[in-house]
Amino acid sequence: AKKPKVVSVTGAAGAIGYSLVIRIASGEMLGKDQPVILKLIETEPGMKPLKGVMMELQDCAFPLLHGLHGTADLEEGFGDAEHCVLVGARPRGPGMERKDLMTANAAIFETQGKAINKAAAKGVSVLVVGNPANTNSLVLAANAPDVDSSKVMAMMRLDQNRAMGQIAEKTGCLVSDVEKVVIWGNHSNNQYPDIHHATVKGESAMKVINDEAWMKETFIPRVQKRGAEIISARGASSAASAASSAIDHFRDYVYGTGDMWHSIAIPSKGEYNTTPGLWFSLPRKCLGDGKMELVEGLTFNAFGEEMMKKVEKELIEERDAVKHLLP
């Protein structure tokens, strides 16, 4: 039997957390033969609802759940963690500017970075879901000097999944027929969902769709603003789909998916002319055991170049807004 792996989840009593922890405990993230020990982290006011979530986890009687802890203490919660999913963040309150939200959340990720640095297992991998995810990742990694920063990832998978769903719908194919969609840049309204390299059943998606106006006026804004579309329909923000994407991300990261492309944000080394040190999402192949390989040599047309510049500018502005938290 495999040794259990410790998975820490922050914001575990929130909407995404509620869906996420059940699926981790059922074995969907790390495999149906991989026992897990869940360490769930919440704020003090979150402890009561967290108790309820833990009761439900117990009542699911998952054979793979070999341990369950709930805490508001970060070092306890991240103790020996091999994988961390950081969902907990402050939602935007009424009248709160994006910048205030950025600073409030960056402070959370500063503290969590320090705790992960101190308490987590060697080789820990971290997925940041809480927004602004890319810049929170930057703050976290800067405050966790012993953690390999290329294992601190901002979640772009929901954006990728959203884009694949839209293309499948437009072409009347299955999502499994759609490959090589890329989300460049930031998990924000300025990201560049790019179908110039994508294929549908092996054929060029641009040729199959053959509708540039649809791409520019419908597809791109729809993927960029899908979060708002869900909020207006559901009266609450995307939760199950966000949790599902976090599961997809870690499963593919750990098990590998061969030649498939995934958009993952880790610190840039200047690839594709991006500014080094930004958590700029680029297409990568997951080779298993957390090894990744950049998809190189893709080209952009003038429209793509402009989209890349715009999203990079945003990531630089975000970085500059949290400069005071970078040691």
205 touches ligand NAX (CB under 6 A): no
242-301 positions binding ligand NAX, by CB under 6 A = 242
CA quadruple 292, 140, 243, 234: dihedral sign: negative
Tell me whether residue 29 or residue 89 sits nearer to ligand NAX (CB atom). Answer: 89
54 touches ligand NAX (CB under 6 A): no
Two tokens, residue 217: 């006026």
**Inter-residue contact 9 to 24 (CB < 8 Å):** yes
Two tokens, residue 4: 């259990």
Question: Is 196 a known active-site residue?
Answer: no
46 touches ligand NAX (CB under 6 A): yes
224 touches ligand NAX (CB under 6 A): no
Helix (H, G, I), strand (E, B) or coil at 278: coil
Q: Which distant-in-sequence residues (6+ apart) come within 8 Å of 73 by Cβ?
A: none
CA separation, residue 217 to residues 225, 255, 300, 306 (Å): 12, 36, 18, 16
Q: Which of 8, 14, 84, 223 binds ligand NAX (CB under 6 A)?
A: 14
Q: How far is the CB of 63 from ligand NAX (least distance, A)?
A: 27
7/18 Cα distance (integer angstroms): 15
151 touches ligand NAX (CB under 6 A): no
Tell me whether residue 104 or residue 121 sits nearer to ligand NAX (CB atom). Answer: 104
Two tokens, residue 104: 């409030």
Q: Which of 6, 8, 17, 322 binds ligand NAX (CB under 6 A)?
A: 17
Q: Which distant-in-sequence residues (6+ apart) come within 8 Å of 281 by Cβ?
A: 134, 154, 156, 183, 184, 185, 186, 187, 191, 263, 264, 265
93-112 positions binding ligand NAX, by CB under 6 A = 108
Contact region with ligand NAX (CB under 6 A), list: 201-209, 234-242, 247-255, 286-294: 234-242
User: x/- string (CB under 6 A) for ligand NAX, residues 157-196?
Assistant: -x----------------------------x---------
113 touches ligand NAX (CB under 6 A): no
Q: How far is the CB of 210 from ligand NAX (least distance, A)?
A: 30
Q: What are phi and psi of 287, to 5 degrees?
A: -95, 0
CA 4 to chain centre: 23
Residues near ligand NAX (CB under 6 A), total: 29
166/253 Cα distance (integer angstroms): 24
116-145 positions binding ligand NAX, by CB under 6 A = 129-131, 133
Could you say which of 66, 69, 83, 187 is catalytic? 187
Binding positions for ligand NAX, rule: CB under 6 A: 10-11, 13-17, 41-43, 46, 87-91, 108, 129-131, 133, 155, 158, 187, 227, 237-239, 242
What residues are labeled active site?
A: 187
